[in-house]
Copies of this chain bind each other. A is one copy, B any other.
Amino acid sequence: MPKRVDHALRRRQIVDAVCRITLKGGLAAATFREVAAEAGVSVRLVQYYFGTKDQLLLSTHQHVAERATKRITERVADAGHTPRDALRALLGSFIPTDDDSRETMLLFAALHTAALVDPSLARDESLAVPRSLHAAITRHLRRGKLRRGTDPDMEAAILAGLIPSLAQAVLDGLQTADEAHQILDYALDRALT
Contact residues of A with B, CB < 8 Å?
22-28, 106, 109-110, 112-118, 122, 126-127, 130-131, 150-151, 154, 157-158, 160-162, 164-166, 168-169, 171-174, 182-183, 186-187, 190
Chain B residues positioned under 8 Å from A165 (CB to CB):
160-162, 164-165
Across the interface, which residues of B come within 8 angstroms of A168, CB to CB? 112, 116, 164
Give, as a whole number of angstroms, the nearest-CB distance from A181 to chain B: 12
CB of A116 within 8 A of CB of B127, answer no
Taking a contact as CB atoms under 8 Å apart, the answer to whether A117 and B106 are in contact is yes
Q: Determine the chain B residues whose CB is within 8 A of the CB of A158 once the complex forms.
A: 158, 162, 183, 186-187
Main SS class of interface, A: helix
Q: Are A171 and B116 in contact (CB under 8 A)?
A: yes
Cβ–Cβ contact A122 & B161, under 8 A: no
A-B contact pairs, 6 of them (CB 8 A): A106-B117, A122-B172, A150-B190, A161-B165, A161-B183, A190-B190
Partner of A109 from B113, B166, B190 at Cβ < 8 Å: B113
Tell me which residues across on chain B come within 8 A of A166, comparing CB atoms.
161
Shortest 3 CB-CB contacts between residues of A and residues of B:
A28-B28, A161-B165, A113-B113
CB distance from A103 to the nearest CB of B (A): 11
